[in-house]
Protein backbone atom coordinates (compact mmCIF):
# COMPACT_ATOMS: atom_id res chain seq x y z
CA UNK A 1 0.00 0.00 0.00
CA UNK A 2 1.29 3.44 -0.91
CA UNK A 3 -0.15 6.60 0.57
CA UNK A 4 -0.30 9.71 -1.57
CA UNK A 5 1.35 12.29 0.65
CA UNK A 6 0.58 15.72 -0.68
CA UNK A 7 2.07 18.84 0.83
CA UNK A 8 -0.30 21.03 2.80
CA UNK A 9 -0.18 24.76 3.27
CA UNK A 10 2.75 24.49 5.69
CA UNK A 11 4.75 22.06 3.59
CA UNK A 12 8.32 22.93 2.64
CA UNK A 13 8.80 21.61 -0.88
CA UNK A 14 12.06 23.49 -1.15
CA UNK A 15 13.73 20.37 0.32
CA UNK A 16 12.34 18.18 -2.44
CA UNK A 17 13.82 14.78 -3.15
CA UNK A 18 17.26 15.82 -1.83
CA UNK A 19 15.92 15.55 1.70
CA UNK A 20 16.36 12.39 3.77
CA UNK A 21 14.53 11.16 6.88
CA UNK A 22 16.89 9.67 9.50
CA UNK A 23 15.26 7.27 12.00
CA UNK A 24 17.43 6.60 15.05
CA UNK A 25 16.95 5.76 18.73
CA UNK A 26 20.43 6.99 19.72
CA UNK A 27 20.43 10.78 19.48
CA UNK A 28 21.16 13.65 21.87
CA UNK A 29 20.49 14.09 24.77
CA UNK A 30 21.35 10.40 25.40
CA UNK A 31 24.55 9.77 27.39
CA UNK A 32 26.82 6.76 27.52
CA UNK A 33 26.48 5.48 23.95
CA UNK A 34 29.00 6.08 21.19
CA UNK A 35 26.31 5.08 18.68
CA UNK A 36 24.71 8.51 19.00
CA UNK A 37 27.57 10.02 17.02
CA UNK A 38 26.95 8.01 13.85
CA UNK A 39 23.53 9.56 13.27
CA UNK A 40 24.46 12.97 14.69
CA UNK A 41 27.50 13.39 12.46
CA UNK A 42 25.67 12.12 9.38
CA UNK A 43 23.01 14.76 10.07
CA UNK A 44 25.67 17.43 10.57
CA UNK A 45 27.69 16.74 7.40
CA UNK A 46 25.04 15.62 4.89
CA UNK A 47 24.19 19.22 3.82
CA UNK A 48 27.79 19.61 2.61
CA UNK A 49 27.08 16.87 0.09
CA UNK A 50 23.71 18.08 -1.13
CA UNK A 51 21.34 16.34 1.30
CA UNK A 52 19.01 18.02 3.82
CA UNK A 53 18.31 15.68 6.77
CA UNK A 54 15.44 15.58 9.24
CA UNK A 55 15.51 13.27 12.26
CA UNK A 56 12.91 11.04 13.90
CA UNK A 57 13.94 9.83 17.34
CA UNK A 58 12.46 9.06 20.78
CA UNK A 59 11.33 11.17 23.70
CA UNK A 60 14.28 11.61 26.13
CA UNK A 61 12.45 9.63 28.84
CA UNK A 62 13.25 6.49 26.82
CA UNK A 63 16.97 6.95 27.55
CA UNK A 64 18.51 5.39 30.67
CA UNK A 65 20.75 8.45 31.07
CA UNK A 66 20.59 11.83 29.38
CA UNK A 67 21.85 15.38 29.78
CA UNK A 68 20.18 18.46 28.27
CA UNK A 69 23.58 20.04 27.69
CA UNK A 70 24.36 17.45 25.02
CA UNK A 71 21.65 19.05 22.85
CA UNK A 72 24.14 21.81 22.05
CA UNK A 73 25.77 19.34 19.67
CA UNK A 74 22.65 19.25 17.47
CA UNK A 75 22.77 21.77 14.58
CA UNK A 76 20.10 24.41 15.31
CA UNK A 77 18.72 24.23 11.76
CA UNK A 78 18.20 20.45 11.90
CA UNK A 79 14.52 19.42 12.20
CA UNK A 80 14.20 16.84 15.01
CA UNK A 81 10.93 15.17 16.00
CA UNK A 82 10.75 13.07 19.18
CA UNK A 83 7.98 10.48 19.19
CA UNK A 84 6.57 9.11 22.46
CA UNK A 85 8.41 5.99 23.66
CA UNK A 86 8.84 4.06 26.89
CA UNK A 87 11.49 1.65 28.09
CA UNK A 88 9.70 -1.58 29.03
CA UNK A 89 12.27 -2.43 31.71
CA UNK A 90 11.90 0.91 33.47
CA UNK A 91 8.39 2.16 32.69
CA UNK A 92 6.27 -0.96 32.22
CA UNK A 93 7.77 -3.30 34.82
CA UNK A 94 6.26 -4.29 38.16
CA UNK A 95 8.81 -4.92 40.91
CA UNK A 96 11.51 -5.21 38.27
CA UNK A 97 9.67 -7.81 36.20
CA UNK A 98 7.68 -7.58 32.97
CA UNK A 99 6.26 -9.98 30.37
CA UNK A 100 8.88 -10.78 27.77
CA UNK A 101 6.43 -10.10 24.96
CA UNK A 102 6.51 -6.40 25.91
CA UNK A 103 10.19 -6.27 24.91
CA UNK A 104 9.88 -7.75 21.42
CA UNK A 105 11.71 -6.91 19.26
CA UNK A 106 13.28 -4.71 21.97
CA UNK A 107 12.42 -2.72 25.08
CA UNK A 108 11.39 0.32 23.01
CA UNK A 109 8.69 -1.30 20.87
CA UNK A 110 6.25 1.32 22.21
CA UNK A 111 8.08 3.74 19.89
CA UNK A 112 6.83 1.95 16.75
CA UNK A 113 3.29 3.31 16.29
CA UNK A 114 3.98 6.89 17.49
CA UNK A 115 7.15 6.81 15.38
CA UNK A 116 5.21 5.87 12.27
CA UNK A 117 2.63 8.61 12.89
CA UNK A 118 5.27 11.29 13.53
CA UNK A 119 7.34 9.96 10.62
CA UNK A 120 4.40 10.40 8.24
CA UNK A 121 4.10 13.97 9.48
CA UNK A 122 7.77 14.62 8.73
CA UNK A 123 7.39 13.11 5.27
CA UNK A 124 4.39 15.32 4.51
CA UNK A 125 6.27 18.41 5.59
CA UNK A 126 9.77 17.81 4.24
CA UNK A 127 9.04 15.38 1.39
CA UNK A 128 12.24 13.36 1.71
CA UNK A 129 13.40 11.23 -1.19
CA UNK A 130 14.82 8.51 1.08
CA UNK A 131 14.18 6.92 4.49
CA UNK A 132 17.25 5.78 6.48
CA UNK A 133 17.05 3.83 9.75
CA UNK A 134 19.76 2.42 11.98
CA UNK A 135 20.06 -0.66 14.22
CA UNK A 136 20.93 -1.85 17.04
CA UNK A 137 17.48 -0.81 18.30
CA UNK A 138 15.38 -3.03 16.05
CA UNK A 139 12.26 -0.89 16.40
CA UNK A 140 14.00 1.79 14.32
CA UNK A 141 14.08 -0.64 11.40
CA UNK A 142 10.42 -1.51 12.00
CA UNK A 143 9.56 2.18 11.70
CA UNK A 144 11.70 2.57 8.60
CA UNK A 145 10.13 -0.50 6.98
CA UNK A 146 6.59 0.62 7.82
CA UNK A 147 7.13 4.12 6.45
CA UNK A 148 8.63 2.58 3.31
CA UNK A 149 5.57 0.35 2.83
CA UNK A 150 3.12 3.20 3.44
CA UNK A 151 4.81 5.79 1.21
CA UNK A 152 6.80 3.88 -1.39
CA UNK A 153 9.90 5.90 -0.53
CA UNK A 154 13.15 3.92 -0.86
CA UNK A 155 14.59 2.67 2.41
CA UNK A 156 18.27 2.37 3.39
CA UNK A 157 18.82 0.03 6.36
CA UNK A 158 21.95 0.67 8.46
CA UNK A 159 23.36 -2.03 10.75
CA UNK A 160 25.78 -0.52 13.27
CA UNK A 161 26.12 -4.00 14.75
CA UNK A 162 25.41 -7.43 13.26
CA UNK A 163 21.72 -8.12 13.89
CA UNK A 164 21.52 -11.88 14.38
CA UNK A 165 24.62 -13.52 15.84
CA UNK A 166 25.41 -16.80 17.55
CA UNK A 167 23.61 -16.66 20.89
CA UNK A 168 22.31 -13.12 20.33
CA UNK A 169 19.70 -12.14 21.09
CA UNK A 170 19.47 -14.88 23.73
CA UNK A 171 15.69 -14.75 24.24
CA UNK A 172 14.07 -17.03 21.58
CA UNK A 173 11.09 -14.76 20.89
CA UNK A 174 13.30 -11.72 20.37
CA UNK A 175 15.69 -13.75 18.22
CA UNK A 176 12.85 -14.81 15.91
CA UNK A 177 11.66 -11.19 15.69
CA UNK A 178 15.14 -9.90 14.88
CA UNK A 179 15.62 -12.53 12.21
CA UNK A 180 12.27 -11.58 10.66
CA UNK A 181 13.23 -7.89 10.66
CA UNK A 182 16.62 -8.67 9.13
CA UNK A 183 14.96 -10.69 6.36
CA UNK A 184 12.46 -7.91 5.75
CA UNK A 185 15.33 -5.42 5.38
CA UNK A 186 17.10 -7.73 2.96
CA UNK A 187 13.93 -8.04 0.86
CA UNK A 188 12.84 -4.42 0.86
CA UNK A 189 15.73 -2.04 1.55
CA UNK A 190 17.35 -0.38 -1.45
CA UNK A 191 20.73 -0.55 0.33
CA UNK A 192 22.02 -2.51 3.32
CA UNK A 193 24.87 -0.76 5.16
CA UNK A 194 27.16 -2.59 7.59
CA UNK A 195 30.17 -1.34 9.55
CA UNK A 196 32.75 -4.15 9.34
CA UNK A 197 34.17 -6.44 6.63
CA UNK A 198 33.30 -9.69 8.42
CA UNK A 199 29.67 -8.61 8.90
CA UNK A 200 29.54 -7.89 5.18
CA UNK A 201 31.02 -11.31 4.42
CA UNK A 202 28.59 -13.04 6.79
CA UNK A 203 25.45 -11.34 5.49
CA UNK A 204 26.41 -11.71 1.85
CA UNK A 205 26.99 -15.39 2.53
CA UNK A 206 23.60 -15.84 4.19
CA UNK A 207 21.76 -13.82 1.56
CA UNK A 208 23.59 -14.84 -1.59
CA UNK A 209 20.60 -13.89 -3.74
CA UNK A 210 21.05 -10.18 -2.95
CA UNK A 211 22.92 -8.30 -5.71
CA UNK A 212 26.37 -7.13 -4.64
CA UNK A 213 25.56 -3.47 -5.33
CA UNK A 214 22.93 -3.43 -2.59
CA UNK A 215 25.54 -4.09 0.10
CA UNK A 216 27.57 -1.15 1.44
CA UNK A 217 30.52 -1.20 3.84
CA UNK A 218 30.11 2.06 5.77
CA UNK A 219 32.45 1.96 8.73
CA UNK A 220 32.37 4.05 11.89
CA UNK A 221 34.76 6.95 12.35
CA UNK A 222 35.75 9.91 14.48
CA UNK A 223 34.59 13.53 14.58
CA UNK A 224 37.43 15.85 13.58
CA UNK A 225 35.70 18.82 15.20
CA UNK A 226 36.24 17.32 18.65
CA UNK A 227 40.01 17.28 18.13
CA UNK A 228 40.45 20.80 16.81
CA UNK A 229 42.36 23.07 19.16
CA UNK A 230 43.62 20.25 21.40
CA UNK A 231 47.24 20.59 20.36
CA UNK A 232 49.70 17.76 19.95
CA UNK A 233 49.05 14.37 21.45
CA UNK A 234 50.08 14.11 25.06
CA UNK A 235 51.54 17.61 25.01
CA UNK A 236 50.46 18.32 28.57
CA UNK A 237 52.01 15.18 30.08
CA UNK A 238 55.42 14.72 28.53
CA UNK A 239 57.20 15.58 31.81
CA UNK A 240 55.00 13.37 33.96
CA UNK A 241 56.86 10.82 36.10
CA UNK A 242 53.98 8.34 36.06
CA UNK A 243 52.69 7.44 32.60
CA UNK A 244 48.92 7.31 32.16
CA UNK A 245 46.81 4.70 30.39
CA UNK A 246 43.17 5.60 29.67
CA UNK A 247 40.12 3.54 28.77
CA UNK A 248 36.91 5.36 27.89
CA UNK A 249 33.70 3.29 28.00
CA UNK A 250 31.78 0.52 29.71
CA UNK A 251 33.53 -2.63 30.93
CA UNK A 252 31.88 -5.92 31.87
CA UNK A 253 32.68 -9.60 32.31
CA UNK A 254 31.07 -10.81 29.07
CA UNK A 255 33.27 -9.51 26.29
CA UNK A 256 35.09 -6.53 27.80
CA UNK A 257 36.51 -8.08 30.95
CA UNK A 258 39.28 -5.91 32.49
CA UNK A 259 40.33 -8.45 35.16
CA UNK A 260 43.15 -10.17 33.20
CA UNK A 261 44.52 -6.73 32.35
CA UNK A 262 44.35 -5.58 35.97
CA UNK A 263 46.20 -8.70 37.12
CA UNK A 264 48.86 -8.13 34.44
CA UNK A 265 49.09 -4.47 35.43
CA UNK A 266 49.67 -5.51 39.04
CA UNK A 267 52.61 -7.63 37.90
CA UNK A 268 53.89 -4.80 35.69
CA UNK A 269 53.98 -2.43 38.68
CA UNK A 270 56.04 -4.89 40.72
CA UNK A 271 59.11 -3.60 38.87
CA UNK A 272 58.30 0.05 39.60
CA UNK A 273 55.15 1.03 41.56
CA UNK A 274 55.25 4.53 40.04
CA UNK A 275 55.74 3.45 36.44
CA UNK A 276 52.15 4.05 35.34
CA UNK A 277 48.58 4.70 36.37
CA UNK A 278 45.28 3.70 34.75
CA UNK A 279 42.11 5.74 34.30
CA UNK A 280 38.91 3.79 33.62
CA UNK A 281 36.44 6.44 32.48
CA UNK A 282 32.69 5.66 32.50
CA UNK A 283 33.33 1.96 33.17
CA UNK A 284 29.82 1.27 34.50
CA UNK A 285 28.81 -0.61 37.63
CA UNK A 286 28.63 -4.23 36.50
CA UNK A 287 32.04 -4.97 38.03
CA UNK A 288 32.71 -4.26 41.71
CA UNK A 289 35.89 -2.31 41.04
CA UNK A 290 36.37 -1.31 44.67
CA UNK A 291 36.78 -4.90 45.84
CA UNK A 292 38.78 -5.94 42.76
CA UNK A 293 41.25 -3.08 43.13
CA UNK A 294 41.59 -3.59 46.86
CA UNK A 295 42.22 -7.29 46.31
CA UNK A 296 45.01 -6.53 43.85
CA UNK A 297 46.44 -3.61 45.80
CA UNK A 298 45.73 -1.22 42.93
CA UNK A 299 43.64 1.39 44.76
CA UNK A 300 46.25 4.10 44.19
CA UNK A 301 47.25 3.08 40.66
CA UNK A 302 43.83 2.64 39.04
CA UNK A 303 41.10 5.27 39.14
CA UNK A 304 37.52 4.54 38.13
CA UNK A 305 35.96 7.86 37.13
CA UNK A 306 32.43 8.89 36.10
CA UNK A 307 31.07 9.80 32.69
CA UNK A 308 32.03 13.20 31.30
CA UNK A 309 31.02 15.10 28.20
CA UNK A 310 32.22 13.74 24.87
CA UNK A 311 34.60 16.63 24.20
CA UNK A 312 36.18 16.23 27.63
CA UNK A 313 36.57 12.48 27.09
CA UNK A 314 38.36 13.15 23.79
CA UNK A 315 40.69 15.64 25.49
CA UNK A 316 41.53 12.98 28.07
CA UNK A 317 42.44 10.58 25.26
CA UNK A 318 44.72 13.13 23.63
CA UNK A 319 46.47 13.92 26.91
CA UNK A 320 47.09 10.28 27.85
CA UNK A 321 50.32 8.33 27.28
CA UNK A 322 48.47 5.27 26.02
CA UNK A 323 44.92 4.12 25.30
CA UNK A 324 43.31 0.85 26.28
CA UNK A 325 40.94 -1.10 24.04
CA UNK A 326 39.02 -4.14 25.35
CA UNK A 327 37.29 -6.33 22.75
CA UNK A 328 36.59 -10.03 23.37
CA UNK A 329 36.30 -12.62 20.55
CA UNK A 330 32.49 -12.58 20.75
CA UNK A 331 32.71 -9.09 19.22
CA UNK A 332 35.00 -10.07 16.36
CA UNK A 333 32.52 -8.68 13.82
CA UNK A 334 32.44 -5.26 15.47
CA UNK A 335 34.87 -2.34 15.65
CA UNK A 336 34.11 0.07 18.50
CA UNK A 337 33.89 3.73 17.53
CA UNK A 338 36.56 4.55 20.11
CA UNK A 339 39.13 2.63 18.03
CA UNK A 340 38.91 5.33 15.34
CA UNK A 341 39.08 8.07 17.97
CA UNK A 342 42.14 6.41 19.49
CA UNK A 343 43.92 6.47 16.13
CA UNK A 344 43.11 10.15 15.66
CA UNK A 345 44.22 10.96 19.21
CA UNK A 346 47.73 10.03 18.11
CA UNK A 347 48.47 7.87 21.12
CA UNK A 348 49.90 4.35 21.50
CA UNK A 349 47.12 1.78 21.71
CA UNK A 350 47.14 -1.34 23.89
CA UNK A 351 44.70 -3.44 21.89
CA UNK A 352 43.39 -6.28 24.03
CA UNK A 353 41.56 -7.95 21.17
CA UNK A 354 41.27 -11.22 19.30
CA UNK A 355 43.88 -11.39 16.50
CA UNK A 356 41.24 -12.77 14.10
CA UNK A 357 38.68 -10.01 14.74
CA UNK A 358 37.75 -6.96 12.69
CA UNK A 359 39.14 -4.59 15.33
CA UNK A 360 42.62 -6.05 14.94
CA UNK A 361 42.19 -6.06 11.17
CA UNK A 362 41.47 -2.33 11.29
CA UNK A 363 44.33 -1.54 13.68
CA UNK A 364 46.89 -3.61 11.83
CA UNK A 365 49.23 -1.36 9.89
CA UNK A 366 48.95 1.64 12.24
CA UNK A 367 52.08 2.42 14.20
CA UNK A 368 52.48 1.83 17.92
CA UNK A 369 49.63 -0.62 18.40
CA UNK A 370 50.43 -3.22 21.06
CA UNK A 371 48.13 -6.24 20.64
CA UNK A 372 47.37 -8.91 23.21
CA UNK A 373 44.54 -11.34 23.76
CA UNK A 374 42.09 -9.93 26.26
CA UNK A 375 42.28 -13.05 28.47
CA UNK A 376 46.06 -13.59 28.39
CA UNK A 377 47.93 -12.06 31.32
CA UNK A 378 51.27 -12.99 29.78
CA UNK A 379 50.54 -11.30 26.45
CA UNK A 380 49.13 -8.24 28.20
CA UNK A 381 52.20 -7.96 30.46
CA UNK A 382 54.50 -8.18 27.44
CA UNK A 383 52.47 -5.49 25.64
CA UNK A 384 52.64 -3.23 28.69
CA UNK A 385 56.40 -3.59 28.86
CA UNK A 386 56.87 -2.81 25.15
CA UNK A 387 54.57 0.22 25.42
CA UNK A 388 56.38 1.54 28.49
CA UNK A 389 59.81 1.13 26.92
CA UNK A 390 58.77 2.91 23.71
CA UNK A 391 57.16 5.87 25.50
CA UNK A 392 60.16 6.39 27.76
CA UNK A 393 62.44 6.25 24.73
CA UNK A 394 60.40 8.93 23.00
CA UNK A 395 59.19 6.62 20.23
CA UNK A 396 55.84 8.07 19.19
CA UNK A 397 53.13 6.98 16.73
CA UNK A 398 53.53 8.19 13.15
CA UNK A 399 50.07 8.53 11.62
CA UNK A 400 49.85 10.84 8.59
CA UNK A 401 46.96 13.28 8.94
CA UNK A 402 45.74 12.67 5.39
CA UNK A 403 45.55 8.92 5.97
CA UNK A 404 43.86 9.35 9.34
CA UNK A 405 41.36 11.77 7.77
CA UNK A 406 39.91 8.96 5.69
CA UNK A 407 38.49 7.60 8.94
CA UNK A 408 36.61 10.80 9.81
CA UNK A 409 32.83 11.02 10.13
CA UNK A 410 32.85 13.63 7.38
CA UNK A 411 34.51 11.17 4.98
CA UNK A 412 31.97 8.48 5.96
CA UNK A 413 29.14 10.96 5.35
CA UNK A 414 30.45 11.67 1.88
CA UNK A 415 30.23 7.95 1.23
CA UNK A 416 26.66 7.82 2.59
CA UNK A 417 25.63 10.77 0.41
CA UNK A 418 26.94 8.86 -2.62
CA UNK A 419 24.79 5.90 -1.56
CA UNK A 420 21.73 8.17 -1.39
CA UNK A 421 22.58 9.63 -4.81
CA UNK A 422 22.67 6.15 -6.30
CA UNK A 423 19.38 5.12 -4.71
CA UNK A 424 17.71 8.30 -5.92
CA UNK A 425 18.91 7.74 -9.49
CA UNK A 426 17.54 4.20 -9.44
CA UNK A 427 14.20 5.36 -8.04
CA UNK A 428 13.81 8.01 -10.70
CA UNK A 429 14.72 5.53 -13.43
CA UNK A 430 12.04 3.09 -12.25
CA UNK A 431 9.39 5.77 -11.91
CA UNK A 432 6.75 6.23 -9.16
CA UNK A 433 5.11 3.39 -7.30
CA UNK A 434 5.99 0.72 -4.72
CA UNK A 435 9.26 -1.14 -5.12
108 and 181 together in one domain: yes
Would strands 52-58 and 80-83 be described as parallel, antiparallel, or unpaired?
Answer: parallel
Domain membership flag for residue 170: yes
DSSP H stretches of helix in 27-102: 36-45, 88-91
Residue 233 predicted with pLDDT over 90: no
- 134 vs 32, higher pLDDT: 134
What value does the mean pLDDT take over residues 130-146? 97
- SS3 label, residue 344: helix
Q: Count CB neighbours of 16 within 10 A.
A: 12
Q: In terms of domains, do 120 and 201 share one?
A: yes
Domain presence at residue 387:
yes
Range of the domain at 413: 16-221+408-430
Q: Give residue 69's pLDDT.
A: 85
Confidence of residue 231 (pLDDT cuts 50, 70, 90): low
- What is the Cα–Cα distance from 249 to 310, expressed in whole angstroms? 11
Residue 283 has a pLDDT of: 94
**Euclidean distance between CA atoms 363 and 254, whole angstroms:** 22
Nearest to 156 by CA among 259, 302, 42: 42
Residues 263 and 346 in one domain: yes
Q: Are residues 230 and 364 in the same domain?
A: yes
Statement: residue 236 has pLDDT above 50: no
Check residues 8 and 19 and name the one with the higher pLDDT: 19
Q: Same domain for 43 and 142?
A: yes
Name every residue whose Cβ is closer than 8 Å to that of residue 23 and which is 6 or more positions away in sequence.
55, 56, 57, 115, 119, 131, 132, 133, 134, 140, 143, 144, 147
Domain count, the chain: 2
CB within 8 Å of 272: residues ≥ 6 apart: none
Residue 14, pLDDT > 90, answer no
CA pair distance 157, 147, nearest whole angstrom: 12
Do both 211 and 230 map to the same domain?
no
Q: Among residues of the chain, what percentage have pLDDT more than 70? A: 93
Q: Is the dihedral of CA 66, 69, 70, 75 positive or negative?
A: positive
The residues pairing with 216 across neighbouring beta strands, listed in sequence order, are: 193
Over residues 219-240, the mean pLDDT reads: 70
Q: Which helix (H) or strand (E) holds 352?
A: strand 349-353
With respect to residue 6, please indicate whether it lies within any of the assigned structural domains: no
Residue 1 lies in a domain: no
Mean pLDDT of 55-72: 92
Residue 9 has a pLDDT of 31
Q: Burial code of 175-205, b = ≥16 C-beta within 10 A, e = fewer?
A: bebbeebbebbbebbbbbbbbbebbbebbee
Considering the domain architecture, whether residues 415 and 309 belong to the same structural domain is answered as: no
Residue 112: φ, ψ to 5°? -60, -60
Question: What local confidence, expressed as pLDDT, does residue 12 receive?
Answer: 45
- Model confidence over 247-268: pLDDT tens digits? 999 999 988 999 999 999 999 9
Residues 211 and 290 both lie in one domain: no
Residues 6+ apart with CB under 8 A from 201: none
Would you state the pLDDT for residue 4?
40
Q: Spell out the residues 6+ positions from residue 25 whose beta carbon is closer than 8 angstroms to its own.
A: 57, 58, 62, 108, 111, 137, 139, 140
Give the chain's mean pLDDT: 90
Question: Going along 145-275, which residue ranges are E strands?
Answer: 155-159, 191-194, 215-217, 243-248
Chain segment 97-112, per-residue pLDDT in tens: 888 888 899 999 999 9
Three-state SS at 15: coil
Q: Are residues 139 and 234 in the same domain?
A: no
**Is 211 in the same domain as 260?**
no
**Does 4 reside within a domain?**
no
Looking at residues 285-292, what average pLDDT do you find? Answer: 94
Crossing angle between the packed helical segments 259-269 and 377-392, to the nearest 10 degrees: 50
Residue 334 contacts residue 256 (beta carbons within 8 Å): no
Average pLDDT over residues 168-193: 93
**Average of pLDDT values for 150-172?**
89
pLDDT digits (tens, 9 = 90+) for 347-378: 999 999 999 999 999 999 899 999 999 999 99
Residue 171: pLDDT band with limits 50, 70, 90: confident
CB atoms within 10 A of CB 211: 6
Are 216 and 345 within one domain? no
pLDDT digits (tens, 9 = 90+) for 316-350: 999 999 999 999 999 999 998 899 999 999 999 99
Q: What is the mean pLDDT of residues 267-276?
A: 95
SS3 238: coil
- In this predicted structure, what is the pLDDT of residue 225? 87
Q: In what order do the strands lie in the sheet with 80-83?
A: 80-83, 52-58, 19-23, 130-135, 155-159, 191-194, 215-217
Amino acid sequence: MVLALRAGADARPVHGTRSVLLVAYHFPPILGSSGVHRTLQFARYLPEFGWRPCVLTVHPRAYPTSAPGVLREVPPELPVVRAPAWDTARHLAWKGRYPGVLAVPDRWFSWWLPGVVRGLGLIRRYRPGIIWSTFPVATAHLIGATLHRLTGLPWVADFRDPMVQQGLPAEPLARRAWRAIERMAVRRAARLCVTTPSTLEDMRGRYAQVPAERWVLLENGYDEGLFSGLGSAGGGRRNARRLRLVHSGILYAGGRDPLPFLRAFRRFLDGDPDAAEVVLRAAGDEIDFDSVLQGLGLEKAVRVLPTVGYAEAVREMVDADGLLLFQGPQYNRQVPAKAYEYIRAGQPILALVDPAGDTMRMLRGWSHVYPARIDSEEEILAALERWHEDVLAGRRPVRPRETVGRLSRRARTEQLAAVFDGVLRETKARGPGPH
